[in-house]
Amino acid sequence: MVSSKSTAKKQGLINCTSCHLLCSPGSIDKNQKAHCPRCGSVLHSRKPNSLSRCWALVIAAIILLVPANLKPITITAALGQTQADTIMSGVIYFIHSGMWPIALVIFVASVFVPLLKLSLLMLLLISVQRKWRWRPRERTRLYRLTEMIGRWSMVDVYVVTILVALVKLGAVARVDAGPGAVYFAAVVILTMFAAESFDPRLIWDVLENDHE
């Protein structure tokens, strides 16, 4: 493997984000956009407005994280009693009933992963904006991690769905989905879009300018 020590951008080329064909942005259509000759996607040297889009989605997710954690995600009615559970109270319930593996799964997926993902994205955004040169390889790896783990936060949303669908035992017990579940699903979706809009190549662009 021989590295040419040169990036596509430096050579005036664009790596198609969809089909990974190295293109020269030759012909431009009437909207001033170049298209990939193989798959037809619009070519961007870097994802457009990557930083501001990512910040907007991260901030929206942080705001929604508050009602997602404070409002109940399930409302259980059993034997005449109703009980509203938030994400954390569900985790505590599992710890008290000795089911700590389940408590751990829910805690990691619903509390730890969203917080970790949002903090990592903010760290990456700040590092790019402040033009840090610190450990680009590790930061790229962190980005790939945020991309990978986000989907697993959906677990709690699915648990609610299954409980709602199953627990309809006449007058004995009934589970309803609470508003917290909707907010939480929105948080997961927003963080997934946020990770998608971040462009890891920006981490490396700072180092490129060093050599010039």
Question: Binders of other proteins among 88-107, rule CB under 8 A?
Answer: 94, 97, 99, 102, 105-106
Neighbours of 111 (CB within 10 A): 17
Radius of gyration of the chain (CA): 23
Q: How far apart are CA 198 and CA 55, in angstroms?
A: 9
Q: Which stretch binds other proteins (CB under 8 A): 13-21, 27-35, 49-57, 113-121?
A: 13-21
DSSP string covering 20-71:
--EE----B-TTS-BB-TTT-PBP-SS-TTHHHHHHHHHHHHHHHHHHHHHS
Q: How far is the CB of 80 from other proteins (least distance, A)?
A: 15
Least Å distance, CB 28 to other proteins, is: 20
The DSSP symbol for 201 reads: H
Nearer to other proteins, 5 or 30 (CB): 5
DSSP letter assigned to residue 121: H
Site string for other proteins, 28-67 (x = CB under 8 A): ----------xxxx--------------------------
Which residues, numbered 120-159, are part of the site for other proteins (CB under 8 A)?
A: 136-137, 140-141, 143-144, 147, 150-152, 154-159
Within 170-199, the residues that bind other proteins by CB under 8 A are 170, 172-173, 176-177, 181-182, 185-186, 189, 192, 196
